[in-house]
Amino acid sequence: MTKFSFSRSDFPQDFIWGAATSSYQIEGHAFGGAGPTHWDTFAATPGNVVRAENGDTACDHYHRYEQDLDLIKDAGLDAYRFSTSWARVMPDGKAVNPDGLDFYDRLTDAMLERGLKPCATLYHWELPAALAVQGGWQNRDVAKWFGEFTHTIMGKIGDRMHSVAPINEPWCVGWLSHFLGHHAPGLRDIRATAHAMHHVMLAHGTAIGVMRDLGLKNLGGVFNMEWATPADDSPEAARAAELYDGYYNHFFLSGVFKGRYPDTVMEGLGPHMPQGWQDDFNVIQAPLDWVGVNYYTRKLIAPNTDPWPSHEEVEGPLPKTDMAWEIYPQGLYEFLKRTADTYTGTLPLYVTENGMAHACPAEDVDQPRIDYLQAHIAMARKAMDDGVPLKGYMIWSLLDNYEWALGYEKRFGLVHVDFDTLKRTPKASYQALAAALKR
Ligand code: IFM
């Protein structure tokens, strides 16, 4: 199949099709007066990032955004999910860089000129280095600082946003970056993790409050989810998978929608939580207008004899993407259904990220990406048929970009980027999408 077997008419008329990116991954952080972030210092430390690559130039979206927005429009997409860089807007985390604000102002207007809906995420991981040295996500004040950033950036462009979410993938900010150490700041510390997991939620709720006060509407939260499958039939493996599911998937939704964290997770994190955390749910539970699910894969989980959480990932049997992630479309269906049934009810849901890393041999040959997207879109459709109020689907990503600790190696784009010349070339998946979405 070189084409998608779905078309726009298989979905409701107001269903939103979009592409997603993030600031540090595409903009070129060396341009426009942006300040250093914890990703710059993390990447500059040997051993953290493949070839010590950083986001200095990335895709140079900072200068080429008009061309990139044309690509989104020409694909027939309705929306652009982008993010705003805290360190571009406030290079030292506090003082405002007018050029940074102007960039997002121009970007917003350029989206509107093309009839694209601006869907903003306030934070996609580039914490200003000046705040990182003050403890970053471990410091309770991060919620206040983030509120100030929210006020500044949304005071400028909030009037034109279709939707806004505060923080992309809280699990990555908390667990991946402070427990596993794979992302900046690269910590492996359970106490730092407990603090960051809670403060990211506090910052989320604080930002929602700030934006409500500014009069913004259509505010949501974006959570990444990974389906946890027990590695075998033993009760121990079932427990291990349940715990993984708890700190990866339930922790954040449960905080926002139920005002508590899962007991399984608090068994480990409880002794390390910041003082007074139980009193913060009035902020964390700020009502949302929608929820976004970022979904890519599942993991097989087996128990081990390490200290809590006493488990590990084992390799699964399914075909894998270039990230070595198993392709498991059923997981998207399960998450959409479970999120609606357990947490969000009739609240609109969006797939805010889904896509695959695949280095295609030539831009006009991109079959695995077409198959991956097709299979996941079919699951999204099935969830809708089963009553899930899914209102949109966004592909990660528009462009090949900086895949964090994996540098520029993993190609998630519908559009190929030559990182020497920065030339953009639409791939076969892009062409197939444009055909499917044609009105
Ligand atoms: O590139 C990332 C993105 O920044 C957040 N979600 C997952 C993507 C693929 O790993």
Instruction: Say whether 301 sits in a helix, a strand or coil.
Output: strand
How high is the pLDDT of residue 263? 98
Q: Does 78 sit in the ligand 1 pocket, CB within 6 Å?
A: no
Beta bridge partners of 222: 168, 292
CATH architecture observed for domain 8-438: Alpha-Beta Barrel (3.20)
| Interval 371-395: pLDDT, tens | 999 999 999 999 999 999 999 999 9
The closest of 206, 201, 308, 179 to 254, measured between CA atoms, is 201
Q: How far is the CA of 234 from the centre of ligand 1 (A)?
A: 32
Q: Does 400 sit in the ligand 1 pocket, CB within 6 Å?
A: no
Domain residue ranges in the chain: 8-438
Q: CA 272, CA 130: separation in Å to the nearest integer? A: 25
Q: Which of 27, 126, 169, 403 is catalytic?
A: 169
Tell me if 298 sits within 8 A of 227, measured CB to CB: yes
How high is the pLDDT of residue 2? 84
Please state, in angstroms and as integers, the Cα–Cα distance from residue 247 to each residue in 290, 349, 377, following that order. Answer: 21, 21, 26
How high is the pLDDT of residue 351? 99
Q: How far is the CA of 295 from the centre of ligand 1 (A)?
A: 10
The closest of 61, 154, 167 to 110, measured between CA atoms, is 61
Percent residues over pLDDT 70 in the chain:
100
Atom 9 of ligand 1: nearest residue by CA position:
403
Atom of ligand 1 nearest to the CA of 401: 1
Q: How far is the CA of 403 from the centre of ligand 1 (A)?
A: 7
The whole-number average pLDDT for the span 203-209 is 99
| Interval 274-312: pLDDT, tens | 999 999 999 999 999 999 999 999 999 999 999 999 999
Q: CA 61, CA 65: separation in Å to the nearest integer? A: 5
Q: What is the mean pLDDT of the chain?
A: 98
Known active-site residue 313: no
Distance, CA of 409 to chain centre:
19
Atom of ligand 1 nearest to the CA of 22: 4
Percent residues over pLDDT 90 in the chain:
99
Beta bridge partners of 163: 119
How high is the pLDDT of residue 305? 98
Atom 2 of ligand 1: nearest residue by CA position:
403
Known active-site residue 403: no
The closest of 203, 175, 200 to 269, measured between CA atoms, is 175
Atom of ligand 1 nearest to the CA of 403: 1
Test site for ligand 1: of 175, 222, 353, most ligand atoms within 8 A of the Cβ: 353
The whole-number average pLDDT for the span 254-268 is 98
Residue 1 has pLDDT above 60, yes or no: no
The secondary element (H helix, E strand) that includes residue 141 is: none
Q: Does 169 sit in the ligand 1 pocket, CB within 6 Å?
A: yes
How high is the pLDDT of residue 337? 98
| Interval 233-243: pLDDT, tens | 999 999 999 99
Q: What is the DSSP letter of 46?
A: T
Q: CA 44, CA 157: separation in Å to the nearest integer? A: 32
Q: Does 396 sit in the ligand 1 pocket, CB within 6 Å?
A: yes
Q: What is the DSSP letter of 52?
A: G
Q: Does 125 sit in the ligand 1 pocket, CB within 6 Å?
A: no
Tell me if 397 sits within 8 A of 71, measured CB to CB: no
If pLDDT is split at 50, 70 and 90, which confidence band does 30 have?
very high
Please state, in angstroms and as integers, the Cα–Cα distance from residue 188 to each residue in 43, 273, 303, 421, 431, following that order. Answer: 17, 16, 20, 37, 43
If pLDDT is split at 50, 70 and 90, which confidence band does 209 have?
very high
Residue 214 has pLDDT above 70, yes or no: yes
Residues 6+ apart with CB under 8 A from 438: 7, 8, 76
Instruction: Count H helices and E strands in the chain, helices first.
Output: 17, 11
Q: Does 126 sit in the ligand 1 pocket, CB within 6 Å?
A: no
Tell me if 211 sits within 8 A of 156, measured CB to CB: no
Test site for ligand 1: of 21, 293, 403, 406, most ligand atoms within 8 A of the Cβ: 403
Residue 159 has pLDDT above 90, yes or no: yes
| Interval 98-130: pLDDT, tens | 999 999 999 999 999 999 999 999 999 999 999
Residues 6+ apart with CB under 8 A from 326: 297, 298, 299, 316, 317, 318, 319, 320
